[in-house]
Amino acid sequence: MASYDVIIIGGGPGGYVCAIRCAQLGLKTACVEARSTLGGTCLNVGCIPSKALLHASHMLHEAEHNFAKMGLKGKSPSVDFKQMQEYKDGVISQNTAGIEFLFKKNKVDHLRGWGKITAPGQVTVDGEVHEAKNIVIATGSEPSSLPGIEIDEKVVVSSTGALALPKVPKRLVVIGAGVIGLELGSVYKRLGSEVTVIEFLDHITPGMDSEIAKTLARTLKKQGLNFIMNAAVQKVDATKTKAKVTYESRKKGNVETLDADVVLVATGRRPFTEGLGFADIGGTITDRGQIEINERWQTNIPNIHAIGDVITGPMLAHKAEDEGMAVAEEIAGKHGHVNYGVIPGVIYTSPEVASVGKTEEQLKAEGIAYKVGKFSFMGNGRAKAVFMGEGFVKLLADQQTDRILGCHLIGPAAGDLIHEICVAMEFGASAQDIALTCHAHPTFSEAVREAALACGDGAIHA
Ligand code: NAI
């Protein structure tokens, strides 16, 4: 039996970051992971592999649509999907091996197998008992399907199966116009699939600033994605090679069907606590399946913390990482901190979408007087040079104090640009602080400064 200061259950972005920080703070640490590689959903079957496929398919799109415009003539590349998958798998293994290396470097024990809490202060890994003064649950989430739809990961797939298809499907039906549906729908559209997205609501990406959501929907439609909105999927009948999707129009009430070679179910994820043993020892799990915690990420059982997708809040890798670091600090007797008001969200479509802080809809609902500074990438020389003039930056600032309240972007490198505003918000900056900061020319980031200028006396290039 081994004895630790901390055992973390789950080796995803929340768990492995927590483990490294615990070790750096001088705690004897182990991390349990049942998958053969570290990195969780994000590195193995989520964020990282999808970014590899998004990049490859984006390159193809550039070759097909923009190369000739720049005088780069010749036949566009054809798709060798097997090799594209190998490239993707290579990216995954480089990253997962990197975490293995970081564990060794920081002296974190990697316990391979299924971790189960068998008593407070006790974790068994495939039957072997380990003692821990503290336990951190970082078991993440799993895809949640709909009643009447069985995921076989071949014809009816979750994001996991969609990232590992043997070939590009002729007809892909995506259920749900959220982050996963739009990112993977874009990938397969660019690789040649006919893609139809069926969404329950009348708009895509619920919760996002509505002006950005409308612009994204328009852009994706122009790229050839079909959308069926206001439609509730009732069932999917699948054979070994194809499927029939039945949905009901929420407006007209009529029931329609759609044939597909592959159906991607992207209707959300749910916390994963199966086989964990937490509830068996008296741990509280909410009606939504989340592990209940207090403001210090402590569960109702002393010395058991929980972080990431398994607790409340957005299911995002970087939110889990922040919580992982904060909990490590707490266990080490310091003060852990996560600013939940400044967690960016990014959709890696092309163009990218990024957002932080409040949306206009939220500010209106809260009765906060605000001003809007907007700037189109059409006025940004660098964006136009690379065919990315579509999209805009929208900065929201307090009407009275000019303090930045939120920022919503659709355009080139939006997922990177947003961090200027995250830092500004962490420091309680005003729109004028951004407007008075020199931004290098020619960069996409000038559009952020112009939006800040638009909050004051006006943008220059609008
Ligand atoms: P989501 O919650 O983003 O979107 C699900 C969509 O499915 C919603 O628009 C919802 O209205 C729709 N829907 C639900 N039931 C339906 C039905 N019966 N018929 C038609 N539409 C229906 O969930 P998604 O995309 O599966 O993502 C899961 C989680 O993974 C999210 O929390 C997301 O934040 C995270 N994620 C984040 C990424 C990123 O940060 N870039 C990438 C991928 C996932």
The set of protein residues with a Cβ atom below 6 angstroms from ligand 1 is: 146, 175-181, 183, 198-201, 206, 232-233, 266-269, 314-316, 346-348
- Is 292 in the same domain as 363? no
Query: What tens digit of pLDDT does each residue of 265-282 get?
Result: 999 999 999 999 999 999
Query: What tens digit of pLDDT does each residue of 43-61 get?
Result: 999 999 999 999 999 999 9
Nearest CA to ligand 1 atom 3: 178
Give the mean model confidence (pLDDT) for residues 73-97: 96
Catalytic choice (65, 337, 419, 441): 441
- Is 123 in the same domain as 261? no
Q: Is residue 150 pLDDT above 90, yes or no?
A: yes
Nearest CA to ligand 1 atom 27: 268
Encoded amino acid at 456, one letter: G
Query: What tens digit of pLDDT does each residue of 106-134 get?
Result: 999 999 999 999 999 999 999 899 999 99
Which of 267, 298, 313 is the C-terminal boundary of a domain? Answer: 267
- Is 8 in the same domain as 133? yes
Residue 449: give its domain's CATH number: 3.30.390.30
Closest of 219, 212, 182 to residue 199, by C-alpha? 182
325: exposed, middle or buried (Cβ count in 10 Å: 0-12, 13-18, 19+): buried
- Is 21 in the same domain as 129? yes
Question: Would you state the pLDDT for residue 376?
Answer: 98
| Residue 459 in domain | no
Residue 112: give its domain's CATH number: 3.50.50.60
Q: Ligand 1 centre and the CA of 143: distance in Å?
A: 9
- Is 310 in the same domain as 215? no
Query: What tens digit of pLDDT does each residue of 426-441 get?
Result: 999 999 999 999 999 9
- Classify residue 317 as left (phi > 0), alpha (psi -120 to 50) or beta: alpha
Q: Partners of 227 in the beta sheet?
A: 197
Q: Is residue 232 pLDDT above 80, yes or no?
A: yes
| Residue 421 in domain | yes
Which of 245, 267, 289 is the C-terminal boundary of a domain? Answer: 267
Query: What tens digit of pLDDT does each residue of 323-346 get?
Result: 999 999 999 999 999 999 999 999
Which of 267, 283, 304 is the C-terminal boundary of a domain? Answer: 267
C-alpha torsion sign, points 250, 251, 252, 258: negative
- Is 218 in the same domain as 192? yes
- Angle (CA) 317 99 166, round 5°: 70
What is the distance between the alpha carbons of residues 44 and 48, in angstroms, rounded to a whole number?
7
- Count of domains in the chain? 3
- Is 429 in the same domain as 407? yes
The mean of the pLDDT values for the chain is 97
Question: Would you state the pLDDT for residue 148?
Answer: 85
Question: Would you state the pLDDT for residue 318?
Answer: 98
Confidence category of residue 145, pLDDT binned at 50, 70, 90: confident
Nearest CA to ligand 1 atom 2: 268
- Is 94 in the same domain as 37? yes
| Residue 461 in domain | no
What is the distance between the alpha carbons of residues 258 and 248, in angstroms, rounded to a whole number?
11
| pTM for the structure as a whole | 0.97
| Residue 150 in domain | no
Nearest CA to ligand 1 atom 15: 267
Q: Which domain holds residue 112?
A: 2-143+270-331
Q: Is residue 1 pLDDT above 80, yes or no?
A: no
Question: Would you state the pLDDT for residue 2?
Answer: 87
- Is 223 in the same domain as 358? no
Q: Is residue 58 flagged as an active site residue?
A: no
Relative to the CA of 179, which ligand 1 atom is closest?
25
Q: What percent of the chain has pLDDT over 90?
A: 99
- Is 429 in the same domain as 449? yes
